[in-house]
Amino acid sequence: MPTTAPTKNTTLQIGPHTVRTPVVLAPMAGITNAPFRTLCRHFAEGAGFAGDEGFAGGEAKGGDGGFKALFVSEMITTRALVERNEKTMQLIHFDATEKPRSIQLYGVDPATVGKAVRMIAEEGLADHIDLNFGCPVPKVTRKGGGSALPYKRHLLRAILREAVSGAGDLPVTMKMRKGIDDDHITYLDAGRIAVEEGVTAIALHGRTAAQHYGGTADWEAIARLKEHVPEIPVLGNGDIWSAEDALRMVRETGCDGVVVGRGCLGRPWLFADLVAAFEGRTEDIARPSLREVADVMLRHAGLLGEWIGDESKGVVDFRKHVAWYLKGFAVGSEMRRRLAITSSLAELRAGLDELDLDQPWPAGADGPRGRTSGNNRVVLPDGWLKDPYDCAGVGEDAELDTSGG
């Protein structure tokens, strides 16, 4: 099906921040750190596959002075932030040129969330705060956090109230799932509460916690939420694998913007396609050769090393990205395995140099990537579902240093 440029105004307003194309990089724990955001931003700004020169990571290259898209940090635990945990302080590091700086927070205790948000506002640590109510991992939901939390309406309200009041002029957004499972759907109530508490925008991942990443995202729910809370921007999330999908989501749901996660794993240049599509250049689709992909891989690994302050640790952290970057290319399993255990840039470069780098972009690289499994039971605190309004039993000890989405 040919892509169709959207007809409505596609600028996204997040409080004082004007985002020129309504595209948001989804927070992903262990992935959307400063180096990955730099790469995505680089492509969003139209800088292309120009080797090291092209990866300077400097000022916006779009030349029109606006922010092309929004790139959200991985989730930061509020307790760890207020305790100034060393790793957490590194995770909230932004590249000097990142603007607006978006931090995603995870918390279950209104007072701790309030403290974390005030700390960010007072110390100028970010320009936008997103709150995570979508995490389905058992370590989090077992404590009533993440995607379990919106079921407790009063608790959700209390957290949002603390966050919005503590944030001062900083916009506060929230990201959630449809609910815990098909029998405990919460997104419409949560959306209304968010509007009443002054939340600036809401992102909805069209799955329940029980679905994890299985099945297909329910875009109908995104449309329902937009109808239910017309006062604020609704951002649709789930199963955008191409720019064409992003335009289709906006067209079919009426949402104000898209949040893209797994589709850009090993494919940060998807942001070039997304921006081009929303600017009406729907035929502008990046199809890098393996040589160009290899350049991005080296750059990504190198940026991770610079960020961590240790080249080897950067390359080790990069290992998880190798299979995503190579998806669909003709690279044997032994070579894939070798590339995924390298410990230095020289080793990674040498391995990549052995590949047939003239391979064009393979059709098999399009479509789903990353986690796709689901239908797990949601682990909840005892008696959690008995009363959607009672929040006894949720306290500071639910504030874990756990990541996920």
* Residue 204 token pair: 């909805």
Q: Is 104 in the site for ligand FMN (CB under 6 A)?
A: yes
- Smallest distance, Å, CB 332 to ligand FMN? 26
CB of 54 to ligand FMN, least distance (A): 26
Q: Which stretch binds ligand FMN (CB under 6 A): 6-14, 161-169, 261-269, 375-383?
A: 261-269
Find the binder of ligand FMN among 263, 302, 314, 351 (CB under 6 A): 263
* Nearer to ligand FMN among residue 72 and residue 293 (C-beta): 72
Taking the complex as a whole, the smallest distance from the CB of residue 135 to ligand FMN amounts, in Å, to: 6
Give least dist CB 122 to ligand FMN, A.
Answer: 24
Q: Which long-range contacts (CB under 8 A, 24 or more apart) does 46-54 make?
A: 46/272, 46/275, 48/272, 49/269, 49/286, 49/288, 49/292, 49/295, 49/296, 51/295, 52/299
Nearer to ligand FMN, 270 or 355 (CB): 270
Binders of ligand FMN among residues 130 to 149 (CB under 6 A) are 132, 134-135
x/- map, 211-240, ligand FMN, by CB under 6 A: --------------------------xxxx
Can you tell me which of 27, 57, 100, 236 binds ligand FMN, judged by CB under 6 A?
27
Nearer to ligand FMN, 12 or 60 (CB): 12
For ligand FMN, give the closer residue by CB, 47 or 199. Answer: 199
Binding pattern to ligand FMN, positions 273-312, x when CB under 6 A?
Answer: ----------------------------------------
The single residue listed with the structure tokens 């705060």 is 129
- Distance of closest approach, residue 32 Cβ to ligand FMN, in angstroms: 8
**What minimum distance in Å lies between the beta carbon of 218 and ligand FMN?**
12
Is 202 among the residues that bind ligand FMN (CB under 6 A)?
no
Residues 171-190: x where in contact with ligand FMN by CB under 6 A, - otherwise, as a string: ----x---------------
Number of shown-chain residues binding ligand FMN (CB under 6 A): 26
Is the separation of the CB atoms in 162 and 111 below 8 Å?
yes
User: What's the chain look like in SS3?
Assistant: CCCCCCCCCCCEEECCEEECCCEEECCCCCCCCHHHHHHHHHHHCCCCCCHHHHCCCCCCCCCCCCECCEEEEEEEEHHHHHCCCHHHHHHCCCCCCCCCCEEEEECCCHHHHHHHHHHHHHHCCCCEEEEEECCCCHHHHCCCCHHHHHHCHHHHHHHHHHHHHHHCCCCEEEEEEEEEECCEECHHHHHHHHHHCCCCEEEEEEEEHHHCCCCCCCHHHHHHHHHHCCCCCEEEECCCCCHHHHHHHHHHHCCCEEEECHHHCCCCCHHHHHHHHHCCCCCCCCCCCHHHHHHHHHHHHHHHHHHHCCHHHHHHHHHHHHHHHHCCCCCCHHHHHHHCCCCCHHHHHHHHHCCCCCCCCCHHHCCCCCCCCCCCCCCCCCCCCCCCCCCCCCCHHHCCCCCCC
Distance in angstroms (rounded) separating the CA atoms of residues 203 and 170: 17
* Region of 24-32, 108-116, 359-367, 378-386 interacting with ligand FMN (CB under 6 A): 24-32
**One of 107, 144, 191, 404 touching ligand FMN (CB under 6 A):** 404
> Catalytic residue among 135, 255, 264, 391, which?
135
- Is 135 an active-site residue? yes
Q: How far is the CB of 370 from ligand FMN (least distance, A)?
A: 5
Residues 122 and 374: their CA atoms lie apart, in Å, by 40
Whole-angstrom Cα distance, residue 222 to residue 188? Answer: 10
CB of 134 to ligand FMN, least distance (A): 5
* 26 sits near ligand FMN (criterion: CB under 6 A): yes
Which of 19, 24, 29, 249 is the binder for ligand FMN (CB under 6 A)?
Answer: 29
Residue 403 is a binding residue for ligand FMN (CB under 6 A): yes
For ligand FMN, the binding residues (CB under 6 A) are 26-29, 31, 74-75, 104, 132, 134-135, 175, 205, 237-240, 260-263, 370-371, 403-405
Could you list the active site residues?
A: 135
